[in-house]
Amino acid sequence: MNKLRQAIEEQGVIVSDQILKVDTFLNHTVDPLLMEQIGKDFAEHFKNRGITKVITIESGGIAPALMCAHAMRLPLVFAKKAVPSTMNDPISTTLHSFTKNRDYTLCMERSAVHPDDVLLFVDDFLANGEALKGICRLAGQAGARVEGAAICIEKAWQPGHQAAEELGMDLFVLASIVSMSRENGIVWAKEEAE
Ligand code: G4P
């Protein structure tokens, strides 16, 4: 069992059969040694794939994405959820967050990604796939390509997994959950390394 799954088993809280709380090590309090391992695992999977930049969305994706970028010795770009007044030439797209039940604008500086960039999308959760599709739309506006998606935790019954496949993406997931319940705990998918 990889270290992320171990942390989820030990510290994760199953709030309902749809929501897993991981705020003691991943997306609120952050465990840097675990992030370092996650970054190395992502980098190992995507080495020799011509990746030129790691991309994520603020805020939950930044910690694992930064450690992945560090391991790959590549820059990290994180898309923002509001257009800062300092942005010169923003490109943007609208996303719907099902978990938070609201729309928001995802944006980044046009010059942050170049037409010849090959991007690796990193995120903490893959759920509905809205984040992944939004990043692909932004990359498209910049003329760049998203080569793969490196995900910490996937809730495999939600549409994100299929969305990644439909986009022709190399999807690498460290902790893929088939189902979960407070009564019976987590049912894991087979680990890629098994
Ligand atoms: P998506 O991430 O695949 O696009 O699906 P969705 O629209 O459902 O996700 C919306 C937000 O909810 C995302 O964070 C995502 O990381 C988070 N999320 C989804 N499922 C879970 C879950 O089971 N547990 C927790 N803790 N979060 C979940 P976000 O809106 O981008 O916010 P943030 O990264 O700034 O926190």
Helices (H), 1-145: 3-11, 32-46, 62-72, 130-142
Who has greater pLDDT, 85 or 100? 85
Contacts of residue 60, defined as CB under 8 A and 6 or more positions apart, other chains included, come to 26, 27, 123, 124, 125
Would the pLDDT of 67 be above 80? yes
Q: Give me ligand 1 centre to Cα 17, in Å.
A: 15
Q: Give me ligand 1 centre to Cα 79, in Å.
A: 15
102-120 residue pLDDT tens: 999 999 999 999 999 999 9
Atom of ligand 1 nearest to the CA of 131: 4
Q: Cα(85)–Cα(159) distance, rounded to whole angstroms?
A: 34
- Give the mean pLDDT of 179-193: 90
Any atom of ligand 1 within 6 Å of the Cβ of 27: yes
Give this prediction's pTM.
Answer: 0.96
Any atom of ligand 1 within 6 Å of the Cβ of 60: yes
pLDDT over 70, % of the chain: 98
Any atom of ligand 1 within 6 Å of the Cβ of 57: yes
User: Mean of the per-residue pLDDT values for the chain?
Assistant: 96
**Pairing state of beta strands 53-57 and 76-79?**
parallel
Any atom of ligand 1 within 6 Å of the Cβ of 21: yes
Confidence at residue 191, expressed as pLDDT on a 0 to 100 scale: 76
Atom of ligand 1 nearest to the CA of 22: 26
Q: Please answer whether residues 154 and 126 qualify as being in contact, where contact means their C-beta atoms are separated by less than 8 angstroms.
A: yes
11-43 residue pLDDT tens: 999 999 999 999 999 999 999 999 999 999 999
- The count of C-alpha atoms lying within 13 angstroms of the C-alpha of 43, restricted to the half-sphere facing its C-beta, is 20
Query: 24: buried, middle or exposed (CB in 10 Å: 19+, 13-18, 0-12)?
Result: middle
Confidence at residue 192, expressed as pLDDT on a 0 to 100 scale: 66
Model confidence at 5, pLDDT cuts 50, 70, 90, reads very high
- Give the mean pLDDT of 139-166: 97
156-172 residue pLDDT tens: 999 999 999 999 999 99
* Other CB atoms within 10 Å distance of the CB of residue 22: 21
* Of the candidates 69, 61, 75, 68, the residue with the CA atom closest to the CA atom of residue 37: 68
In this structure, the residue with its CA closest to atom 34 of ligand 1 is 60
Would the pLDDT of 45 be above 90? yes
Q: Cα(117)–Cα(97) distance, rounded to whole angstroms?
A: 27
Atom of ligand 1 nearest to the CA of 160: 3
Would the pLDDT of 82 be above 80? yes
In this structure, the residue with its CA closest to atom 21 of ligand 1 is 19
